[in-house]
Structure 1
């Protein structure tokens, strides 16, 4: 390295601590996964994120440590099971908070969606049958 150069001589690669949690609101379709990534010492402008066409969110950052040393990280999160348009990122006091809204079809297991689709017409049919038989029976009593 040339004397007077500002190129870093050493990179300190690390894996930031991540904490996952569920956010559940009243309707099941508003469920989301929350991830908090601890980035103490980093500034918002030192953190970059990019949504790839491959269904992954790429997050990286570099923070100068002094003495030509750089602390850096690269994180890759699979977001293919989430609504891309609703992904939210917020950087606050050395913590990156990401909110991934679940796809509505991903919140219910497939067998449960199938059971509900099958049960709804049956319940509706029973209701209509009960209603029609009670109306028919009531009209026969009036004729007596």
Structure 2
């Protein structure tokens, strides 16, 4: 009887520990969701805006509104966020299924935005081909069907 009671108590403790672990993972992930909502989504919009406004403004207007250093800072902030979020899922600090969904979605969006054929200001001396960082994240975090739809059906 004592052995059975010991096993039951151990199972309750294990269940409680797993529940606590899941709660902490969820709490950590919510911090990333909050950061995305308050900062990163705006920066992703700004990266898109840099591309969309390129052919619509004169060189002077574009230089004034969209300086190179601000573009690079914004793009790097998004990339850093995705790297940290990806690591959070990889090391099981965050729930991996939620991380995979968000990283997959963000990486596909940034890949599309950064792969646009844009003629950057010549003085920037930069060219973007297919952004490899986002390609890697898509292949790591998107399911087989999502990758197939993205790479072959778009």
- For Structure 1 versus Structure 2, the TM-score category normalised by the shorter chain is under 0.3
Compare the two structures and name the one with the higher helix fraction.
2
Normalised to the residue count of structure 2, the TM-score between the two structures is 0.26
Compare the two structures and name the one with the higher strand fraction.
1
Normalised to the residue count of structure 1, the TM-score between the two structures is 0.27
| Structure having the higher Rg | 1
